[in-house]
Chain A
């Protein structure tokens, strides 16, 4: 082919062009490689939980990376409604349906934080510090303001200067215990964040 003339070159390139054009125009059989996207939850670990938002307390299924083997670090990558849960039977509202973004949100609260009076900054504190501070303040306030008897001398055991706001995603048993704790302290202002 080292002796190729201009005419031979044109013949070869022209034939190639015609051939490839015909293939592109649909004369060449196409291979069907189309396939649906892989089902992404196939072997993910499924964990049941309760949606943390409102008092409806919908059941959710959380799907995480790995099979909980010692060396596999779990990471939740998908959440959807639990079809076996009697409350929602698989459905979720827009907030519940977006829970996976709540988990991975940059602004998600992951530890106790404290803002000093007059300060404009939150500072991180330990759980021990937080619980100790809360209990000390509660005790000081209760000691100062607890009402054992009303004006008529009737025993009332009220503590009206502090309130408690409980979480919604609790079982009946947790709700019972929370109620016992709040009422045994004499708290009357006692509500649930679900009504906020």
Chain B
């Protein structure tokens, strides 16, 4: 029941093809975060914790507005506050809701060595299944956005699920529902792109000439997109990468190392077999045994 109803299109560390017949014919889902509308109230953080039954530790002030200071196994989304002085000398407060981008080409899934620990659904959501997670942390290396976090309690990786449990029954994610300013919206990816285009046009008319949509193609596009006032400089938004790409190490490991490793195993087995039929096992005759007994006797006589 599980596999078909979920329409899994990709599964980590699995060589067999997934069922492909069903597709997201009404469009894949996407979350659009309009940074220009965000007031940094953190209702999304609260709603995320309430829905997913998470409670992060109460920390202490670290000198900035980010609270908690970083993503964790208990905080799957986080408002990151950046102060930017624009060329006119005015201060701009760029507040970005950080969290999983749900890449179309997920680096975490590609890097994951544990079968079924990371899956991608036909609707575009990338989900972690902690029961299969071995806590190796390769997903952290594979992620171009530095999102997954390993829990200190159970050594398993956690991140935003895009509320796959809500979306599976036809609801929007918890953060989207709660957002008081409407900075976070949810719908089909096509609708979100259209909505973004309207917002960008509005921002351009208000003097943000470089306003644009962040939907990076280096990871095949994402199912969490941003409307940025300065789309030409995404790094202004607390280090949002301009050209996110899956680390070359992942490609090397999954691309070349694996067949090379398998080749080495088979070569060893073949050499062993050839050695067996060519030279054969190491056998001893009665003369060898006699020589060995003599040697042992001499050794015993030498030692007092």
Asked if chains A and B come from one complex, the reply is: yes
Contact string, B237-270, partner A, CB cutoff 8 A, digits 1/0?
0000000000000000000000001100100010
A100 to B182 alpha-carbon distance, docked (Å): 23
Q: Which residues of A contact B127 (CB under 8 A)?
A: 34, 36
**Knowing A92-B47, A93-B43, A100-B50 touch, does A39 contact B269 (C-beta < 8 A)?**
no
Q: Is there contact, CB below 8 Å, between B50 and A32? A: no
A92 to B184 alpha-carbon distance, docked (Å): 13
A-B contacts counted at CB < 8 A amount to: 101
Q: Which residues of A contact B275 (CB under 8 A)?
A: none
User: Which residues of B, 161-193, contact A by the 8 Å Cβ criterion?
Assistant: 161, 164-166, 168-169, 174, 177-180, 182
A177 to B166 alpha-carbon distance, docked (Å): 41
Q: Which residues of A contact B3 (CB under 8 A)?
A: 32-34
Q: Which residues of A contact B15 (CB under 8 A)?
A: 26-27, 29
Q: Is there contact, CB below 8 Å, between B6 and A97? A: no
Q: Is there contact, CB below 8 Å, between A34 and B11? A: yes
Q: Which residues of A contact B178 (CB under 8 A)?
A: 80-81, 90-92, 97
Q: Which residues of A contact B216 (CB under 8 A)?
A: none
**Knowing A34-B116, A36-B127, A94-B45 touch, does A81 contact B177 (C-beta < 8 A)?**
yes
* Interface bracket on B: 35 or more
Q: Which residues of A contact B211 (CB under 8 A)?
A: none
Q: Is there contact, CB below 8 Å, between B115 and A94? A: no
Does A37 sit within 8 A of B, measured CB to CB? yes
**Knowing A32-B8, A34-B11, A97-B43 touch, does A90 contact B177 (C-beta < 8 A)?**
yes
Q: Is there contact, CB below 8 Å, between A32 and B2? A: yes
Q: Is there contact, CB below 8 Å, between A33 and B2? A: yes
Interface of A is mostly: loop
Q: Which residues of A contact B177 (CB under 8 A)?
A: 80-81, 83, 90-91
Q: Which residues of A contact B104 (CB under 8 A)?
A: none
User: Which residues of B, 62-84, contact A by the 8 Å Cβ criterion?
Assistant: none
Does B230 sit within 8 A of A, measured CB to CB? no
Does B42 sit within 8 A of A, measured CB to CB? yes
Q: Which residues of B contact A97 (CB under 8 A)?
A: 43, 46-47, 50, 178
Q: Is there contact, CB below 8 Å, between B2 and A35? A: yes
A29 to B110 alpha-carbon distance, docked (Å): 18
Q: Is there contact, CB below 8 Å, between B41 and A94? A: yes
Q: Which residues of A contact B8 (CB under 8 A)?
A: 32, 34
Q: Which residues of B contact A88 (CB under 8 A)?
A: 180
A93 to B8 alpha-carbon distance, docked (Å): 34
Residue of A32, A37, A92, A93 most packed against chain B (CB within 10 A): A32
Residue of B16, B115, B164, B182 most packed against chain A (CB within 10 A): B115
**Knowing A34-B6, A39-B166, A80-B177 touch, does A92 contact B16 (C-beta < 8 A)?**
no
- Nearest-CB distance from A30 to chain B (Å)? 4
A25 to B263 alpha-carbon distance, docked (Å): 12
**Knowing A30-B14, A34-B129, A78-B50 touch, does A91 contact B179 (C-beta < 8 A)?**
yes
A39 to B165 alpha-carbon distance, docked (Å): 5
A90 to B43 alpha-carbon distance, docked (Å): 12
A96 to B177 alpha-carbon distance, docked (Å): 12
Q: Is there contact, CB below 8 Å, between A36 and B180? A: no
A83 to B186 alpha-carbon distance, docked (Å): 15
A88 to B47 alpha-carbon distance, docked (Å): 15
User: Nearest chain-A residue to B16 (Cβ)?
Assistant: A29
Does A173 sit within 8 A of B, measured CB to CB? no
Q: Which residues of A contact B14 (CB under 8 A)?
A: 26, 30, 32
Does B119 sit within 8 A of A, measured CB to CB? yes
Q: Which residues of A contact B (CB under 8 A)?
A: 18, 21, 25-27, 29-30, 32-40, 42, 78-81, 83, 88, 90-94, 96-98, 100-101
- A-B residue pairs in contact (CB < 8 Å), sample of 12: A30-B14, A32-B8, A35-B6, A36-B164, A80-B51, A81-B178, A88-B180, A90-B178, A92-B43, A93-B180, A94-B42, A97-B46
